[in-house]
């Protein structure tokens, strides 16, 4: 009977360690998801900045071409 209790006790502790490991993995995945969302937000902001700079550059180039045409 004592041997059986010890076996159940070992199994119980093994299961608890497995559950703790799964909880740790869930936390890691949750943290990774949060980091990916923040990274995605940063990338979106960078894309907006690059697009704005590109539009501004096109405008400046157009104005320069128009000024050159007028000068000619």
- Look at residue 60 and tell me whether its pLDDT is greater than 80: yes
Question: How confident is the model at residue 44, as a pLDDT?
Answer: 95
- pTM over 0.85, yes/no: no
Query: Lowest mean pLDDT: which of 12-16, 34-38, 55-59?
Result: 55-59
Which is higher by pLDDT, 36 or 2? 36
The angle at the Cα of 46, spanning 43 to 51, to the nearest 5 degrees, equals: 125
Report the chain's terminal Cα–Cα distance, integer Å: 105
- For residue 39, the enclosing domain spans 1-72
Domain count, the chain: 1
Q: What is the pLDDT of residue 3?
A: 80
Q: Per-residue confidence at 32, pLDDT binned at 50, 70, 90?
A: very high
CA-CA distance, 66 to 70, in Å (whole number)?
6
């Amino acid at each position: 009977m004592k041997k059986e209790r010890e076996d159940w006790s070992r199994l119980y502790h093994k299961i608890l360690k497995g559950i703790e490991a799964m909880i740790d993995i869930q936390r890691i995945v949750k943290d990774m998801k949060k980091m990916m969302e923040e990274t995605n937000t940063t990338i979106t902001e960078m894309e907006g900045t690059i697009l704005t700079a590109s539009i501004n550059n096109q405008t400046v180039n157009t104005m320069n071409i128009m000024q050159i045409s007028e000068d000619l």
